[in-house]
Amino acid sequence: ETGVTQSPTHLIKTRGQQVTLRCSSQSGHNTVSWYQQALGQGPQFIFQYYREEENGRGNFPPRFSGLQFPNYSSELNVNALELDDSALYLCASSLSGAGVTDTQYFGPGTRLTVL
Amino acid sequence: AQKVTQAQTEISVVEKEDVTLDCVYETRDTTYYLFWYKQPPSGELVFLIRRNSFDEQNEISGRYSWNFQKSTSSFNFTITASQVVDSAVYFCALSEVGGTYKYIFGTGTRLKVLA
């Protein structure tokens, strides 16, 4: 196990609602990355947080937003849910810093279904 | 632009057979990282290996081996004497160096090992 935890495990929402997904990073890691994995596809990068600041964003609309807390845990918020948002959402933690490129370790994911 | 191609969508082998999963990547960077992850039915991405662009040595870990060839932009993964427990989806990923270190994933190869 990686020590990265995510909650909830599964979630069902209806179109137009808002959702918050949570991630606790591995001890000692200061960076959290979020990915969306649609069925049958590879994970797609949503954004990354490093020391509580957004540190890069993929091709996702502004209704996807996030936070990182002082303990390096993180939240992913999605507003105005659409049917296409149904996917497995993966959180990955890593250690970043000057000259450091650590491997990303993934949590078990949250499966979101939008009806 | 960076891209990872896993042309094999699904592979089926009989237990104890050897199997090779192909990965071809595209990047303009001279420094980058390559990864392989395993995704069992539970959904969690399990880290298998990381290789940086300056290290073309092949690596062997138990029944797993990896062949990195910069000349053909390939990073192939071989499982020797496959077992039923190897059944999973395997993803190859590419990471830039600097910035977000976001991962670009391929679409994955589903491996089915039949008893």
pLDDT-derived band of residue A100, with 50, 70 and 90 as boundaries?
A: low
Per residue in B5-41, pLDDT (tens digit) is 999 999 999 999 999 999 999 998 888 999 999 999 8
Asked whether the predicted pLDDT for residue A22 surpasses 90, the reply is yes
In whole angstroms, how large is the CA radius of gyration of chain B?
14
Give the CA-trace dihedral at A26, A30, A34, A35, to 10 degrees.
-70
- Phi-psi sector, B113: left (phi>0), alpha (psi -120 to 50), beta: beta
Cβ pair A31, A74 in contact under 8 A: no
Q: What is the pLDDT of residues A37-82, one digit of tens each?
A: 999 999 999 999 988 999 889 999 999 999 999 999 999 999 999 9
Structure tokens at B86: 């190897």
| Interchain pair A43, B50: CB under 8 A | no
What pLDDT is attached to residue B98? 66
Query: What average pLDDT does range B69-85 have in this prediction?
Result: 96
Q: How far apart are CA B24 and CA B34, in angstroms?
A: 10
pLDDT bucket at B1, cuts 50 / 70 / 90:
confident
From chain A, the residues in CB contact with B50 under 8 A are 103
Query: Which has the closest alpha carbon to B18: B67, B55, B52?
Result: B67
- Separation between Cα atoms, residue B15 and residue B80, nearest integer Å: 10
The nearest CA of chain A is from the CA of B15 a distance in Å of: 24
Q: How far apart are the first and last CA of chain B?
A: 41
Give me the pLDDT at residue B99, please.
63
Q: Is A1 helix (H, G, I), strand (E, B) or coil?
A: coil
Best of A37, A51, A93, A113 to disrupt the B interface by mutation (most B CBs within 10 Å)? A37
| Rg over CA atoms, chain A | 13
